[in-house]
Structure 1
Amino acid sequence: MRKAFFALILFSGFVLLAFNQVTMPDKIADTAFKSGELLNYKMKYGIFTAAEAHLKIEDSEVNFNGKPAFHIIADGATAGSFDVFYKVRNRYESYIDKATLLPYLYTENRHEGSWHHTDKVTFNREDDKITANSGTYPFSGKVFDFPSAYYFARNLDVSKLKTGETFDMRYFLDNAVQTLSITFIGREKVKCALGTFNCLKFNPTIIPGKIFRKNSKLYLWITDDNNRIPVKAHVEVVVGSLTMELTDAKGLKYPLNAVAK
């Protein structure tokens, strides 16, 4: 459970960071989001609500290297009877440059059952070094944390995606620069609490463990519009499956238009 499910599907699927046909711009002239955006999600195990997650972005009160920044906050917590048996209270925060959307600072505070973990990660792009609580790590090119990966990826041109293509993204987590492989499945209409939407469907890889089976599949649906927000995710676990759906979206830069079923 230390790889909390809501963290996995909120961040691992925002997915286009190293796609070989997508240009990764050095600066983002017009972002797909604005300060004040808030996304709320609910995770279910069968008919039972297992957890809730919230993702918001706001103007940072702190500048970095004299430059303005966005502050991203992602919270996740178990709910109902799941909160009794295995309490989770996780918070992930990222400060990103407003022009490049690259991260300056990432922090996490994770309480999962009796396990507690915190980390503070700084990205020094002049020296190509990432400094975390556990030490210093070299990197090259565009490397993100989970929250900054999501907001950067929302601004990429995905018009050349072809069904079946597999690509990678790079992010820093658990004391290493990790690579996640993702396959583009195609386009589908998906229903959630806010309506039915045209979506892009992806299949990120899963590392088997105590929760996920060796052949477990994770699917993620992201709106095929100017917002590029996830509306649904579904994953198979050792017993049964888990589903996460968008329950509310506020402060979006563009209208979230539902379509006919």
Structure 2
Amino acid sequence: MTKRAFIILFSIVTAAALFAFRQFLPMPDRIDDTAFKAGERLNYRLKYGIFTAAEAHLKIEDSDVKFDGRPAYHIIADGNTAGTFDVFYKVRNRYESYIDKSTLLPYLYTENRHEGSWHHTDKVSFDRQDNKVTAGQGVFPLKGGKVFDFPSAYYFARNLDVSKLKVGDTFDMQYFLDDGVQTLSITFAGREKVKTALGTFNCLKFNPSIIPGRIFRKNSKLYLWVTDDNNRIPVKAHVEVVVGSLTMELTNATGLKFPLNGQLKN
């Protein structure tokens, strides 16, 4: 696998895990009882075949900074290459988001990405009153609906009611990334019991769309499994590539608001 291919795959699988639930379900304006609490920390491992290729870490904390006088959460998501991959192509990416504690909508998003010799930073502010997003690439309109950034979509989505989803239901999600609002189609594929490095879990299974090409086979599918409990945590993602496959698994979870529904390994 080429260096660039690895970065693309890492971004796609990570994005799928973070954005899995942003959908056109009833979306509350205020969330009084969230699926998470400050202090939650999640760790993931990304494997190319049998080799560990990267690690990702997510945490949410109470923020010392207030926006418009309102309290906020601070989300931090880190991703880095590991093992042999780290020797040949070092990646150190950090994404941060400040979200309203009641609506879970983002106020401010920043990213700091180091991928080999390439370095990129961005600072994105969300103005709900004037319906615009201001980023390093310019000012972009918000044309309606709820639009999130990379980390905040994940935490908001965990609070949506998915109890009425049927197998085959397809929905779209919107998020701001790089230079505009992006859309990703996702299909609900049912419920499964899934084994992971952390244990076995009852899961909701999703199939985010991907585009075949130099990296993916014509019949390649990306699957994502999320705990079918009150936590709604992505525990596994898998996609086949032209040569081999890429798998991401949850390796550790602490500070959860609810017990996990599965049987954890000792």
The TM-score normalised by the length of structure 1 is 0.94
Residues 133-144 of structure 1 mapped to structure 2, 5 A cutoff? 133-139=136-142, 140-144=144-148
Match of 2:58 in 1: 55
Matched, 1:121 2:124: yes
CA RMSD of aligned residues (A): 1.6
Match of 2:15 in 1: 11
Provide the C-alpha distance between the structure 2 equivalents of 1:52 and 1:4, rounded to a whole number of angstroms.
15
Number of residue pairs the alignment of both structures matches: 258
Match of 1:248 among 244, 252, 264: 252
Over 3 Å counting, the alpha-carbon distance change for 1:210 and 1:83 in structure 2 is farther
Match of 1:203 among 203, 207, 230: 207
Amino acid at match of 1:134: Q
Q: Is the 8 A contact 1:107 1:120 kept in 2?
A: yes
Which region of structure 1 is more displaced relative to structure 2, 124-133 or 235-244?
Answer: 235-244
Q: Is the 8 A contact 2:227 2:261 kept in 1?
A: no
Match of 2:234 among 199, 208, 230: 230
Provide the C-alpha distance between the structure 2 equivalents of 1:259 and 1:59, rounded to a whole number of angstroms.
30
Provide the C-alpha distance between the structure 2 equivalents of 1:87 and 1:213, rounded to a whole number of angstroms.
26
Query: Per the alignment, in what secondary structure is the counterpart of residue 12 of structure 1?
Result: helix
Match of 1:186 among 186, 190, 211: 190
Match of 1:173 in 2: 177
Amino acid at match of 1:243: T
Amino acid at match of 1:52: E
Amino acid at match of 2:20: V
Match of 1:73 in 2: 76
Match of 2:161 in 1: 157
Amino acid at match of 1:250: T
State, as a whole percentage, how many aligned pairs show the same letter. Answer: 77
Deviation at 1:208, TM superposition (A): 4.3
Deviation at 1:111, TM superposition (A): 1.1
Query: Per the alignment, in what secondary structure is the counterpart of residue 201 of structure 2?
Result: strand
Deviation at 1:117, TM superposition (A): 1.1
Q: Is the 8 A contact 2:105 2:148 kept in 1?
A: yes
Q: Is the 8 A contact 1:17 1:24 kept in 2?
A: no
Amino acid at match of 1:247: T
Over 3 Å counting, the alpha-carbon distance change for 1:144 and 1:240 in structure 2 is same
Provide the C-alpha distance between the structure 1 equivalents of 2:115 and 2:215, rounded to a whole number of angstroms.
14
Provide the C-alpha distance between the structure 1 equivalents of 2:109 and 2:218, rounded to a whole number of angstroms.
31
Provide the C-alpha distance between the structure 1 equivalents of 2:10 and 2:162, rounded to a whole number of angstroms.
24
Which region of structure 1 is more displaced relative to structure 2, 175-184 or 6-15?
Answer: 6-15
Match of 1:86 among 78, 85, 89: 89
Q: Is the 8 A contact 1:94 1:107 kept in 2?
A: yes
Any stretches of 5+ residues in structure 1 without a counterpart?
none
Match of 1:30 in 2: 33
Match of 2:98 in 1: 95
Deviation at 1:4, TM superposition (A): 4.5
Deviation at 1:259, TM superposition (A): 4.5
Moved over 2 A (4+): 1-19, 207-216
Match of 2:49 in 1: 46
